[in-house]
Structure 1
Amino acid sequence: MRMNATGRVLHDPKGGSFRFDAGAVCLDFAYTGGEGRYAVFETLHEPTDLVEWLAQPPLDAVVTAPVTADDLVAARTLRQAIWAAARARAARRPLPAEAVAAVNRAAASPPLVPELTGSGTTIGWAAPVLASQALSTMAREMIELLSGPLAERFRECASETCPLVFVDSSRPGARRWCSMERCGNRHKVRALRARRTT
């Protein structure tokens, strides 16, 4: 369990993939799919998809009870709320009331409970590990981000065609791109071509 080692590989339905670090587990979770035009990116089709996502690092929450269709609905609701709140904060707009209510609802459930392993050097999650606990843990992380020292560090990728939002936890706070290998590199290539043209 390494809640500070964030980031996931995102896959484009048209092909290709890249590593995107949104800066927090809850924000990584926001990119597991979406509604409307973002439905093509959906990865949480079945409860088992949610089980697999939660079990991956950095959350490492291996659920010990069956995940239900209701858990999946709750996960998608929280995901949409995190996405909406992050975009609003990045655009310096008021947070949508629906998103705030959904995050608060998820955070009201008991969170995952950290547990020291027998070696005394590593930690895991105390059993039982429930999907609702993992969702609560991510909702609480989002609350901390929105109300803490990184509240003004929500950024949308500087590319005009990229809607990805991240929280910039770098010391200088100068991150501009969702990923240097994707939008940052494309910008460098365009700038180089423009210089050669002139």
Structure 2
Amino acid sequence: MSGNLGLDLAGTVGRRRTGRVDLLATPADLARWTVAAGLLDTEPAVSDEDLARTAALREAVYRLASAARAGSPFEAADRELLNRAAGRAPAGVRLRDDGGLERTGDLGAALATTARAAVELLGGPRAALIRECEASPCTRLYVDSSHRRSRRWCDMRGCGNRAKAAAFRARDRRDG
């Protein structure tokens, strides 16, 4: 959705400024997310401690991406946390007999893959393309890879659709 696995992780908290919604509230949520995000083929074992470490990584990625978006310097503690996570062995990939792809590893490997994606984004030219969704109250970050760099929403099917429908209703009421 965001165009980067690291931003996808950061996006598992919605409405950061109003009524925060945590999509990874339980270890089971996190295990499901690793599969839904395409990091692993099977849900890994996840403890409460793993969940807390993941939340810390998620918040560090969000703060770093927000800093990149604003042109501000990175906080050293956030950068170090992200670099530590990215330094672990990433999730494995194998080509199956049927030509399909198999993704293997534990939670640490999935998070290393996610952290590496964030490092590559934040340390590269695409960091300048990080945007925040314009739909209120959404606060998701995404990479604007649109042709004209004019993307406004994290997802056209959700936030974009709601924003366009609200604008239509407002015009309709105004015009009579």
TM-score bucket of the superposed structures, by smaller chain: 0.7 to 0.9
Contact 2:14 2:138 in 1 (8 A): no
188 and 89 in structure 1: CA distance in 2 versus 1, 3 angstrom threshold: farther
Partner of 2:63: 84
Shift of 1:35: 10
Equivalent runs, 1:7-46 vs 2, <5 Å: 21-33=1-13, 40-46=20-26
Structure with higher RCO (Cα < 8 A, 6+ apart): 2
Shift of 1:157: 2.5
Q: TM-score scaled to structure 1, two decimals?
A: 0.73
Shift of 1:40: 3.6
- 1:124 partner SS: strand
Q: Does 1:172 align with 2:148?
A: yes
Partner of 1:186: 166
Say which of 110, 114, 125 aligns to 2:93: 114
Shift of 1:91: 2.1
Contact 1:33 1:39 in 2 (8 A): no
Q: TM-score scaled to structure 2, two decimals?
A: 0.81
117 and 38 in structure 1: CA distance in 2 versus 1, 3 angstrom threshold: farther
- Distance in 1, matches of 2:18 and 2:34, equals 21
Contact 1:177 1:184 in 2 (8 A): no
- 2:30 partner SS: helix
Letter of the 1:114 partner, please give it. Answer: V
Equivalent runs, 1:92-171 vs 2, <5 Å: 92-119=71-98, 121-126=99-104, 129-159=105-135, 162-171=138-147
Q: Structure 1: which 5+ runs fail to align?
A: 1-20
- Distance in 2, matches of 1:38 and 1:75, equals 22
- Distance in 2, matches of 1:60 and 1:115, equals 11
Say which of 27, 33, 43 aligns to 1:47: 27
Q: Structure 2: which 5+ runs fail to align?
A: none
111 and 172 in structure 1: CA distance in 2 versus 1, 3 angstrom threshold: same
Contact 2:144 2:150 in 1 (8 A): yes
